Amino acid sequence: MLLDTFGRQAVDLRVSLTDRCNLRCTYCMPEQGLQWLAKPTLLTDEEIVRLVGLAVRELGVREVRFTGGEPLLRPGLVSIVAACAELRPRPELSLTTNGVGLTRVAAALQAAGLDRVNVSLDTLDEDTFHTLTRRQRHRDVLAGLAAAEAAGLTPVKVNSVLMRGVNDHEAADLLAWSLEHGYQLRFIEQMPLDAQHGWDRAGMITAEEILARLGERFALTPEPSADRGAAPAERWLVDGGPTTVGVIASVTRPFCRACDRTRLTADGQVRNCLFATGETDLRTALRSGADDAELAALWRAAMWGKKAGAGIDAPDFHQPDRPMSAIGG
């Protein structure tokens, strides 16, 4: 098992497959992009499958989420998913994507064994999408969502970040649209994960503001807290249910006490928290001939040192030096 000193067990593994992305979201990276990781430093497909297999067989991981950067840019994605679907015990497999390339690969991913997808979509307006992402790919994302639904990668979840003065007026429209299409919507408080360090706590749309704006059009009833478990999203029944909307209040209401996640970066580092400033190098040990027992011991030690909380709201908190796209969300 992957335990820490506070008794938390990490059963949810986030695996970054690449640091690259085909969008340039203003809250994630600068317009010119980042200095991408050199290919030799990235884990190979076989190395990823080996480490995921180790986590599932030996360390108690039950859920695996593939992330990036943009994971659809990984050439071996379908084969990685297929290999992980063959693991026993079989983990739940999901993918977080911007949706741009989903139409061409959704069916293949489902056939390979992927269970569901999370798609990032912050606006229903093409011009606002261009403002936020610096790319004209809004229609591709909408088509990708429809392709995921048609392929059976359900429930299709939509992740939205609201930016003050940009798309914060769209909260209720996004929920109405998601309900119409059968998607599960989750709003995420903007976190200090931008590589250009432009995050401003005062400019963030908080969970309370999101709920207030949704409440202008919908009746929201909190789900019983017992139903949440270790899930990062607090959920509300919409107009009496059964449909729900989620809010991930990572900054104003951190969920560190129940965190059950561990992260493997694109270049083979273990992070026991998305906001951790330190990491444990599995790639070097792996390529130096370490066996599964040695790799498992390194991973357990990394998790044992996990702090009680991320400290996002501390005045001196800042984004770790490594690009968010190499860490995985």
On whether 284 is known to bind a ligand per the annotation, the reply is no
> How high is the mean pLDDT of the chain?
89
The pLDDT confidence band at residue 254, using thresholds 50, 70 and 90, is: confident
Cis peptide before 192 (omega within 30 of 0): no
On whether 157 is known to bind a ligand per the annotation, the reply is yes
Q: What is the mean pLDDT of residues 200-211?
A: 83
- Structure confidence at residue 93 (pLDDT): 98
On whether 96 is known to bind a ligand per the annotation, the reply is yes
Please state the pTM of the whole predicted model.
0.90
On whether 74 is known to bind a ligand per the annotation, the reply is no
Supply φ then ψ for residue 308, to 5 degrees: -65, -35
On whether 88 is known to bind a ligand per the annotation, the reply is no
On whether 21 is known to bind a ligand per the annotation, the reply is yes
On whether 14 is known to bind a ligand per the annotation, the reply is yes
**pLDDT value at 25 more than 80:** no
22 close to 98: Cβ distance less than 8 angstroms: yes
User: What sign has the CA pseudo-torsion 152, 153, 157, 161?
Assistant: negative
**pLDDT value at 33 more than 80:** no
Residues in the chain: 329
On whether 213 is known to bind a ligand per the annotation, the reply is no
Q: What is the mean pLDDT of residues 121-143?
A: 95
Q: What is the mean pLDDT of residues 14-29?
A: 86
Which residues contact residue 110 at a Cβ distance below 8 angstroms, ignoring those fewer than 6 apart? 151, 152, 153
Domain that holds residue 269: 2-326
DSSP 130: H
On whether 65 is known to bind a ligand per the annotation, the reply is yes
The H-assigned helical ranges of the chain are: 45-58, 77-85, 102-112, 126-133, 138-151, 171-181, 207-215, 283-287, 292-304, 324-327
On whether 27 is known to bind a ligand per the annotation, the reply is yes
Domain tally, the chain: 1
On whether 201 is known to bind a ligand per the annotation, the reply is no
On whether 134 is known to bind a ligand per the annotation, the reply is no
On whether 84 is known to bind a ligand per the annotation, the reply is no
On whether 261 is known to bind a ligand per the annotation, the reply is yes
The pLDDT confidence band at residue 206, using thresholds 50, 70 and 90, is: very high
On whether 16 is known to bind a ligand per the annotation, the reply is no
Tell me which of 181 and 190 has the higher pLDDT: 181
**pLDDT value at 226 more than 80:** no
Q: At 12, which CATH number?
A: 3.20.20.70
**pLDDT value at 307 more than 50:** yes
